[in-house]
Chains A and B, each alone.
Chain A
Amino acid sequence: MPGRSSDRFASRAEKELRRELLVSPVPELGLVAANGPNDPDPELVVEGGVVTRLDGRAAAEFDVIDRFLVAHGLDLGIAVEAMGRSDLAIARMLVDVDVPREELVRLARGLTPAKLARVVGLLDPVELMFALKKLRARRAPGNQAHVTNLKESPALLAADAAEASRVSVSEMSVVLAKLFAKRMSPPVGP
């Protein structure tokens, strides 16, 4: 019936929550979690122990992150074997209780970012959660938190930190707003 809506819908439309925008994926602009049409194809070329191509880029075009990754991230000793596995095979290993974490960590060190993205893109949210749990390095993860306050009082920060550790936050960083504010607004304010 056009022009009519129930009070239930009318009152719901007034709620603050309704002003939030839901952003739909726009894959062609790169606004997508996985499997974007512009994502590069996985690629790794090693010549004489040096990476000459990575995910569609030649060494001369490497940006700072590519360079860092090639120098410090990729394990070239495992890369040929790891890159030789199919996306689907690795994705299935991630959700296979019979494949130990160690084996996945070993292989992951030889995978390029594009290859990792392809693998992860094959998993649905429940599978991702399973994989995440399986890949945890710790048996019992500790709670992590930032402690900060805008007043920058060392005593207050210490008290906040002590209180956080009392409520079982086992890992904590204390952040000062003056340092933090240069790049983003402080996360918490009194």
Chain B
Amino acid sequence: MAFDPATDYPLGARRPDLVETPSGVPLEEVTLAAARAGTLTAADVRATPVTLRRQAAVARAAGRAQLADNLERAAELASVPDDELLEIYTALRPGRSSAAQLEERAARLDELDAAKTAAFVREAAAAYRERGLLAG
């Protein structure tokens, strides 16, 4: 059955058949017993880009454009390594980065197929430049 963003939320309750972990474990196999047996690792209990994009579609169908944009960026970031994510977060604090450093971050996000987030970082860089929030 095709996914319907107007009626299939929450996915875990209405469409568990569509939800799987990053390593491909179906939702019904994400159990305490599997965790005890060691067949389920912490990395399995994470949202996949596919699931986050479906949630974005749900948000958009409900007329919540900003939330949808947010979830689409989340989908891009789901496969960005945690260390890099924290580095970007820190780099975006006021006064931490030069324009060139923020552009480097944006270019790296482009490499990671995170075009929307890259555009977001570039938008921040432009705003920081105008408001004197860049480093130095």
Chain A residues at the B interface, C-beta cutoff of 8 Å: 63-64, 67-68, 71-73, 75, 102, 105-106
Contacts and interface: CB of A to CB of B under 8 A. Distances in A.
User: What DSSP secondary structure best describes chain B's contact surface?
Assistant: helix
Contacts of B131: 63-64
A75 B66 CA distance: 10
Contacts of B65: 75
A51 to B, nearest CB: 14
B136 interface: no
Interface of B: 63, 65-66, 69, 123, 127-128, 131, 133
A73 B63 contact: no
Contacts of A106: 63
User: What DSSP secondary structure best describes chain A's contact surface?
Assistant: helix
A67 B66 contact: no
Nearest to A72: B66
Given A64-B133, A72-B69, A105 B63 contact: yes
A67 B66 CA distance: 15
Contacts of B69: 72
Closest 10 pairs between A and B when the two form their complex, measured CB to CB: A67-B127, A64-B127, A64-B131, A72-B66, A63-B131, A71-B123, A73-B66, A72-B69, A105-B63, A64-B133
Contacts of A102: 63
7 contacts: A64-B127, A67-B127, A71-B123, A72-B66, A73-B66, A105-B63, A106-B63
A163 B13 CA distance: 22
A64 B133 CA distance: 10
B108 to A, nearest CB: 23
